[in-house]
């Protein structure tokens, strides 16, 4: 029997179906469960990707399993998904004899405000209220990549920004990254929810580094200035002695040219004035007579008025020009001493310009710069003192945030250890114990990024002042040691699963993809690893490639990837298995290609347990 009910909040309204026998408690945890469960990739379409000619995969909620022979194309599917979400493209993956590769994903983000917000920022004019989004990526053989969200062209960085918020893809390579202690701080910060604190810390640390850089530059500049102060003072004095004014050389050259040619100028002025106004038959007299004569006939033709007006205007212009020339001539006075002074001044300016390779304007600017540098040298102690005070204040802020970060990490590391240790026991590592090791990064006394704590100095880096490493001991009575020294491949797989399970309760990434993360385990341990995947699938959509029957048996939906020959070429075929086909496939994973009654029975039992 089922109960049909409606769940509503400010962000969504949906219908949930529960068995009456189930115990349902819709709390904040349940809301988060639904929030992730209903955000999923519904369909993946791939065309012309290596040996995949054309395939469409309809995923379900929960656990989606991919099995198939080696080389059939299982990993291609996950690579296609990665590429759809912004990973770099290699054009050699386009199927032979085809011009275009297409990858298209259909997603339902109807309950994810965060993703809808990201989409709205990418495409402000698009309506994403229903949450149904189609992402498409096309690669053309001629080296062109095209990306679309709901048929709107977008950049590859937009696709990646979106991809980083909806899908986590984990592969065997990530097992190797888990062995690298540089990744451990990030894992702990994800679990601790330190994103906002890290952003504040990074911002303040960057400001501190900028101030320290400025302080070091200031100190270096002082040493340089002091070493060449005498030369700078001489240079400033030499430029200032000339007391230059803007464009002075051009003004003086024009003045000198006028003085040196004053006789010729005077003759031309006199001749011009004679013609215009001073001879008996000058222009002004002639124009005046013309105006007088024309006025006699104006009554006979009114059109003459306009002509008279134009001539009168000309008369005024000639008269004003004559007066200006007369004034100019009266001021013209050849002065040999003034000419010599200008020549000497121009000579001094020319020598200074040549010496420094600068124009007059550049020399004036250089003078101002020199004065500023020398003033700075005199006030250096004050400048450095002010900046150092600023650094000290910023150091206090940075250390406080680094300490807060360290304290929170240490507190949350206990929760992380507890959660992982519980799961390790559930997946066959009963005696194993997981530990987060903290060490301070060593600093030194005269380093502005180092701080004294007790008797030692710690140095602050982009990660704070902690060096964090995950340690483990597999067996009782042994010492804790780094993962890379203690754990086998199968053990690392299980530790990774344990970490992912614990982190899944804290993250908002709705889809998890695993590429044979179960490598190196089998039997009873594989069954326990499957249990962890099943638990993860209750709050996430999971897509997993596996070779283990214990994991394949618990799928919500099972896909088989195989190869076939078609028209002389190898083609990958991806099929969703029916319930009977699923039993057969799990049986093959148990016994190999030769399926026996015993393996069919075991397969059925594994599936029924789920």
90, part of any domain: no
- Three-class secondary structure of residue 55 per DSSP: strand
388, part of any domain: yes
Do the beta carbons of residue 570 and residue 534 sit within 8 Å? no
One domain for residues 194 and 233: no
Based on its alpha-carbon atoms, the radius of gyration of the chain, rounded to whole angstroms, reads 43
CA distance 307 to 285: 18
Do the beta carbons of residue 388 and residue 254 sit within 8 Å? no
Which residues have CB under 8 Å from 586's CB, separation 6+?
549, 552, 553, 603, 606, 607
Do the beta carbons of residue 437 and residue 420 sit within 8 Å? no
576, part of any domain: no
Long-range CB pairs of 12-17, under 8 A, 24+ apart, other chains included: 12/110, 12/111, 14/38, 14/110, 14/111
Residue 493 Cα distances to 112, 200, 490, 530, 555, angstroms:
30, 34, 5, 12, 19
Residue 321 Cα distances to 237, 266, 283, 285, 329, angstroms:
47, 16, 12, 15, 12
CA distance 551 to 537: 12
Give the count of alpha carbons within 13 A of 516, CB side only.
Answer: 12
Does position 114 have pLDDT exceeding 60, yes or no? yes
- Strongest mean pLDDT among 125-139, 324-338, 495-509, 528-542: 125-139
For residue 597, count CB atoms less than 10 angstroms from its CB and return exposed for 0-12, middle for 13-18, buried for 19 or more: exposed
Do the beta carbons of residue 116 and residue 109 sit within 8 Å? yes
One domain for residues 211 and 303: no
Per-residue pLDDT at 7: 32
One domain for residues 333 and 469: no
Does position 134 have pLDDT exceeding 90, yes or no? yes
Does position 21 have pLDDT exceeding 70, yes or no? no
Does position 258 have pLDDT exceeding 90, yes or no? no
Token pair belonging to 69: 């022979």
One domain for residues 333 and 361: yes
63, part of any domain: no
Does position 560 have pLDDT exceeding 90, yes or no? yes
Which residues have CB under 8 Å from 238's CB, separation 6+?
352
One domain for residues 248 and 366: yes
Give the DSSP letter string of 547-585.
--HHHHTT-SEEEEEEEEEETTEEEEEEEE--HHHHHHH
Partners of 8 in the β-ladder: 13
- Three-class secondary structure of residue 474 per DSSP: coil
Mean pLDDT in the chain? Answer: 83
Q: Which pTM value belongs to this model?
A: 0.60
Do the beta carbons of residue 208 and residue 400 sit within 8 Å? no
608, part of any domain: no
Q: What is the 3-state secondary structure (H, E, C) of 364-397?
A: HHHHHHHHHHHHHHHCHHHHHHHHHHHHHHHHHH
CA distance 178 to 421: 16
Does position 420 have pLDDT exceeding 70, yes or no? yes
Do the beta carbons of residue 541 and residue 62 sit within 8 Å? yes
Do the beta carbons of residue 562 and residue 573 sit within 8 Å? yes
Give the DSSP letter string of 131-159.
-EEEEEEEEETTTEEEEEETTEEE-HHHH
Which residues have CB under 8 Å from 347's CB, separation 6+?
none
499, part of any domain: no
One domain for residues 393 and 485: yes
Domain extent, residue 27, equals 1-34
One domain for residues 370 and 389: no
Give the DSSP letter string of 193-218.
T-HHHHHHHHHHHHHHHHHHHHHHHH
Q: Using 50, 70 and 90 to split pLDDT, how confident is the model at 2?
A: very low
Q: Tell me phi and psi for residue 444, to 5 degrees.
A: -140, 160
Which of 331, 346, 378 is a domain's end point? 378
One domain for residues 353 and 335: yes
Q: Using 50, 70 and 90 to split pLDDT, how confident is the model at 26?
A: very low
The β-bridge relationship of strands 152-154 and 144-149 is antiparallel
For residue 464, the 8-state DSSP code is B
Does position 11 have pLDDT exceeding 50, yes or no? no
CA distance 230 to 303: 81
One domain for residues 400 and 371: no
Do the beta carbons of residue 370 and residue 232 sit within 8 Å? yes
190, part of any domain: yes
52, part of any domain: no
Pairwise pLDDT comparison (229 vs 502), residue with the higher score: 502
Looking at the chain, how many residues does it have? 610
One domain for residues 319 and 415: no
Per the structure, the count of domains in the chain is: 3
Which of 431, 459, 494 is a domain's end point? 494
CA distance 351 to 332: 30
One domain for residues 366 and 392: no
Q: What is the 3-state secondary structure (H, E, C) of 422-457?
A: HHHHHCCCCCCEEEEEEEECECCCCCCCEEEECCEE
One domain for residues 426 and 347: no
Q: Using 50, 70 and 90 to split pLDDT, how confident is the model at 39?
A: low
Does position 15 have pLDDT exceeding 50, yes or no? no
Which of 430, 459, 494 is a domain's end point? 494
CA distance 153 to 122: 10
Range of lowest pLDDT (12-16, 59-63, 188-192, 273-277): 12-16
pLDDT one-digit tens code per residue, 482-529: 887 876 666 776 777 788 788 776 666 778 888 876 666 777 778 878
Pairwise pLDDT comparison (400 vs 3), residue with the higher score: 400
Does position 30 have pLDDT exceeding 50, yes or no? no
Chain centroid, CA 332 distance in Å: 70
CA distance 348 to 241: 10
Which residues have CB under 8 Å from 136's CB, separation 6+?
84, 102, 103, 104, 105, 147, 148, 151
CA distance 146 to 124: 20
pLDDT one-digit tens code per residue, 366-375: 999 888 877 7
């Amino acid at each position: 029997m089922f109960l049909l009910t409606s769940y509503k909040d400010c962000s969504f309204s949906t219908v949930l179906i529960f068995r009456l026998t189930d115990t349902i408690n819709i709390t904040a945890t349940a809301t988060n469960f639904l929030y992730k469960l209903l955000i999923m990739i519904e369909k993946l379409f791939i065309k012309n990707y290596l040996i995949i000619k054309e395939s469409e995969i309809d995923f379900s909620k929960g656990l989606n399993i991919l099995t198939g022979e080696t080389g059939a194309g299982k990993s291609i599917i996950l690579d296609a998904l990665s590429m759809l979400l912004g990973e770099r493209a290699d054009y050699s993956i386009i199927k032979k004899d085809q011009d275009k590769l297409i990858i298209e994903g259909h997603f339902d983000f109807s309950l994810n405000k965060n993703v809808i917000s990201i989409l709205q920022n990418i495409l402000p004019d698009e309506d994403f209220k229903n949450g149904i989004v189609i992402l498409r990526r096309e690669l053309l053989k001629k080296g062109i990549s095209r990306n679309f969200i709901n048929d709107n062209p977008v950049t590859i960085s937009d696709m990646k920004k979106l991809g980083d918020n909806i899908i986590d893809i984990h592969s065997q390579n990530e097992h190797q990254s888990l062995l690298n202690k540089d990744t451990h701080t990030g894992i702990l910060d994800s679990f601790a929810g330190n994103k906002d604190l890290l952003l504040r810390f990074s911002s303040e640390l960057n400001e501190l580094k900028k101030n320290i850089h400025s302080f070091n530059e200031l100190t270096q500049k002082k040493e340089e200035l002091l070493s060449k102060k005498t030369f700078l003072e001489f240079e400033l004095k030499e430029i200032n002695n000339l007391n230059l004014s803007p464009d002075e050389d051009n003004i003086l050259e024009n003045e000198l040219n006028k003085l040196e040619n004053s006789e010729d100028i005077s003759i031309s002025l006199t001749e011009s004035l004679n013609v215009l106004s001073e001879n008996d038959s000058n222009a002004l007299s002639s124009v005046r007579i013309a105006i007088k004569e024309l006025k006699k006939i104006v009554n006979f033709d009114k059109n003459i008025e306009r002509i008279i007006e134009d001539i009168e205007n000309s008369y005024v212009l000639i008269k004003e020009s004559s007066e200006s020339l007369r004034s100019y001539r009266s001021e013209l006075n050849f002065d040999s001493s003034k000419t010599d002074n200008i020549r000497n001044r121009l000579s001094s300016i020319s020598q200074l310009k040549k010496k420094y390779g600068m124009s007059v304007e550049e020399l004036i600017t250089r003078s101002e710069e020199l004065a500023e540098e020398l003033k700075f040298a005199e006030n250096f102690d004050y400048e450095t003192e002010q900046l150092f005070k600023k650094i000290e204040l910023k150091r206090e802020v940075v250390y406080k945030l680094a300490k807060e970060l360290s304290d929170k990490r240490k507190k949350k590391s206990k929760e992380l250890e507890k959660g992982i240790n519980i799961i390790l026991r559930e997946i066959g590592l009963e005696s194993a114990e997981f530990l987060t090791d903290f060490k301070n990064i060593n600093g030194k006394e005269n380093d502005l990024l180092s701080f004294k704590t007790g008797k030692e100095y710690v140095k602050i880096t982009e990660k704070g002042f902690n060096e964090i490493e995950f340690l483990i001991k597999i067996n009782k009575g042994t010492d804790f040691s780094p993962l890379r020294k203690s754990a086998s491949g199968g053990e690392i797989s299980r530790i990774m699963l344990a970490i992912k399970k614990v982190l899944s309760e804290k993250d908002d990434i709705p889809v998890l993809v695993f590429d044979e993360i179960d490598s190196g385990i089998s039997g009873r341990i594989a069954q326990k690893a499957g249990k962890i995947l099943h638990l993860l699938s209750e709050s996430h959509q999971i897509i997993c490639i596996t070779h283990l029957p214990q994991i394949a048996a618990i799928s919500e939906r099972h896909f088989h990837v195989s190869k076939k020959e078609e028209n002389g070429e190898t083609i990958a075929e991806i099929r969703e298995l029916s319930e009977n086909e699923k039993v057969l496939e799990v049986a093959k994973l148990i016994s190999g290609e030769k399926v026996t009654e015993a393996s069919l029975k075991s397969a059925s039992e594994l599936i029924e347990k789920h």
